Structure 1
């Protein structure tokens, strides 16, 4: 028997359970608490002195892009405070890597340029002989140099593609910013794929990033066939150190051919037999993002530039038909919906799938739910839809004040990220980060959920303070509710809870976050992270 006894600290068992002060883990499972734990612990049990620290079920990330985050770390780091600094970072990286035929990087701050529009000529100053492709922090936009435009065949005569936009200069030439994947694909389709070993390394980088922040399960929310190959290879080599679920990307331009491929991918992942990897979900985009004015709105944007935004699957029944088919095949539904029109369309599609396919434990997810019409709030609970929201975004940072609020107007802007309203409606609220779009550290998201302030403490009292969560509520959303989204309670060994028989997926923090101020939450050190009773991260190693 392999055992660990945690003592001399606080163990959070859950929102409706009393805290414990000792915890026994044997053979990777939670066994007992308090005096019983101490009594059952044998002489060969490892004792972890919590030193006044705090243990709870480990965090999860209900919506992220770990493979992209790992790959991003391998390129120039362009999350800078000025455009000039980003250009300089690209030049340094290119000079250090003359052997690379293409330069890939991310993820730059879209608010640094007016309307989020970046010019290819700025990048040409850094690199002109090789193509450069930089992802924006929204991952719906890229900034490229002139060489990349040339190789992609994008010039003044190129029309906007389906599901994409190519902004132009006043003289009609393409600017160098490509919006949404219809336009982004024009470049990516001529770019080389990253080598498989580099991609497997990226999974390791992402895993190390997450484990050091107390996270042991991540929903990869946009997985294409090459990504499946990468995860399967990593799982086959037993290289995974945390749990991943793959959400297979449904593309409206080719969905008719995709469904059987998705079923085959799910079976292929299952055949590997690695319990840390599943592929049980299909990802849909209902719209884009507000910052590009491609988020789908019930009422027009203030600028009127794109009026109501973009419905990726159109305004007809295409999304509902695809959701119904995927649901009938037994997949979990995961829909990106930013604007209130997209949220309504997603809810309608899920409601249609339930009506057509009958009752089952499906746990559909709507990710982001940035703007929800008041008439639709109650529907999350009624339909059993999990709202996977990104608490870090619920603050008046530059992205919000420079790009988002001016497009929505004050009334709509103040209805964003209604986490308290969703929770009070009776719906399940899980948390995600969308990393590398934004930080994947739950402690940072927790701080914003509990304060709705920037790191500088603005505004006093919090933005839209009626939507604040308690720290304990956001702890629950980051752990047990993400595990519910992941069907962790239905696993052969359940996880996501602190209960006898459950997998010992744990995070050890230096202090009880429930007794900290909002400003202190991001600085609560992660001392260790455990997966199935194995210490996968230690601050002392």
Structure 2
């Protein structure tokens, strides 16, 4: 089966052309050669724009899909709205023993500190657990605290914090894994059918936004089972790579199972599923003051933040993962965490010798000048979330007060990293933030909020040219996935993973980019999404 696409602009990632021929799921020819080839079918682009489909180099699709199952709190603009939504959901689901939802806006309350009593007013007799937008924080009611055995006498756990009221009683906000795991350990598991359906919800979400590959950047053992079951049920519908979570508290036990998980996924035999990566957290997030900084936070509340791996622990763990031939993927927000991650990768290169390992440092919110050039030198891929590089409420209410004005101006050095020669790739961290690539690209090329603030862009020296932004969300992610010969570019022999837009993003104002419509998405030449109407 062959199809000729014409009648619009076709961006190949190396330039533009006016025709693309797809045969048996791969690109057969472009330009004039495509026009003279045989085509069984023709698609008139109607003046639209055809390009490689997007990849998302860092996201949490299972979590994103599960958000649709619980109370819908993401769009709530106040505590009262969240509480009302939780009550409405609880009243409609009287048989659910636990009410679990995500993900509320942590900037709605000063310091991101939410009180259990506010949820008690809605649901006093069943545990309620809500994840914050950052997925590093829980807001729970008093019943959930009781079920977890968390009291005023409970000490802050390793790698976690339990904020308290002035009288010493537990507030109801739990920060980082050491604390959130206390509740997660007593929560009932979701039914496997619900989890598989959540992956379908995630696929629906992504395909409608032109994304056909995603890096799931936090995969627990049960999640591997879910993905394998979804693959067996032919329920994936897009490409997923799994990053197996490395917990510093349990790493010596986990590492012995990483290769087994990879082989189990390989044995599943799905061309849409792989498990080639291990995910490390080097720190938390600035908004909780758990992101690890070289200089203290302005408040001094947590001084330099939280480094999750002590001493050379991250370097030694990364080497053991590299010994298995798995890709290293490190969450590093603060400049101290980024340095520790780079040091760990440098240790791996020195200890294990050169090979094509393509380690990833995700987020890189703050990078010290001394470390900027080390990404390219070490072959480290900075996977950046461009949507975050704006002066929105999250930034102005929670981030800037913690970092201070001068240090805040050094955030998200996307253009600097790209100009340094680093192999830039983009991701969304969905559902932490929008998984629509065009939303992120709009910020990457403007450094402005959706209302155009500030004029000229925030830290305008970091504005990225539009084609570089498109590349970071296509060929850049394909490079991260070791798949640059398969997808991410429209060249003969490449998989026909395509997105058809109704307008040319290279000729569209930044503020209008999120409004561009995805008309269709293709995976190996097969239409997997078509906009209705």
What interval of TM-score do these two structures reach, taking the shorter chain for normalisation? Answer: over 0.9
Aligned partners of 2:70 and 2:102 also within 8 Å: yes
- Residue equivalent to 1:7: 6
- Residue equivalent to 1:537: 529
1:167 and 2:163 correspond: yes
Where does 1:32-181 land on structure 2 (aligned, <5 Å)?
32-42=29-39, 45-79=40-74, 80-181=76-177
| Structure 2 alignment gaps of length 5 or more | none
Measured against aligned partners, the alpha-carbon deviations of 1:475-507 in whole angstroms (never above 9, x if no partner) come to: 0000000010011125xxx11111001000000
Distance 1:239 1:187 in 2: 30
SS in 1 for 2:346: helix
Measured against aligned partners, the alpha-carbon deviations of 1:223-248 in whole angstroms (never above 9, x if no partner) come to: 00010000001112222110000000
SS in 1 for 2:278: strand
- Residue equivalent to 1:349: 344
Measured against aligned partners, the alpha-carbon deviations of 1:282-316 in whole angstroms (never above 9, x if no partner) come to: 000000000000000000000000000000012x1
- Residue equivalent to 2:443: 448
Distance 1:27 1:334 in 2: 34
Measured against aligned partners, the alpha-carbon deviations of 1:165-205 in whole angstroms (never above 9, x if no partner) come to: 00001111100000001000000000001011000000000
- Residue equivalent to 1:18: 15
Distance 1:18 1:326 in 2: 38
1:509 and 2:505 correspond: no
Shift in Å, 1:132: 0.5
What is the Cα-based RMSD across aligned positions, in Å? 0.8
Distance 2:462 2:94 in 1: 50
- Residue equivalent to 1:519: 511
- Residue equivalent to 1:385: 380
SS in 1 for 2:484: helix
Aligned partners of 2:359 and 2:381 also within 8 Å: yes
Shift in Å, 1:367: 0.1
Distance 1:21 1:95 in 2: 56
Distance 1:488 1:384 in 2: 16
Measured against aligned partners, the alpha-carbon deviations of 1:398-452 in whole angstroms (never above 9, x if no partner) come to: 1000000000011110000000000000001100010000000001001000111
Distance 1:94 1:312 in 2: 36
Shift in Å, 1:99: 1.2
SS in 1 for 2:318: helix
Distance 1:239 1:146 in 2: 38
- Residue equivalent to 2:392: 397
- Residue equivalent to 1:432: 427
Distance 2:141 2:411 in 1: 34
Aligned partners of 2:475 and 2:484 also within 8 Å: no
Distance 1:34 1:153 in 2: 66
Indicate how the Cα distance of structure 1 residues 18 and 62 shifts in structure 2: closer, same or farther if over 3 A, else same: closer
SS in 2 for 1:248: strand
Measured against aligned partners, the alpha-carbon deviations of 1:33-75 in whole angstroms (never above 9, x if no partner) come to: 2232122123xx2211100000111001000000000001111
Distance 1:237 1:71 in 2: 18
Shift in Å, 1:270: 0.4
Distance 1:533 1:470 in 2: 29
SS in 1 for 2:72: coil
| Structure 1 alignment gaps of length 5 or more | none
1:250 and 2:239 correspond: no
Alignment partner for residue 290 of structure 1, among 262, 277, 286? 286
Shift in Å, 1:470: 1.1
Aligned partners of 2:30 and 2:491 also within 8 Å: no
Give the number of aligned pairs. Answer: 532
Alignment partner for residue 277 of structure 1, among 273, 280, 285? 273
Where does 1:316-331 land on structure 2 (aligned, <5 Å)?
316-331=311-326
Distance 2:400 2:31 in 1: 50
Distance 2:107 2:29 in 1: 51
Shift in Å, 1:471: 1.1
Shift in Å, 1:275: 1.1
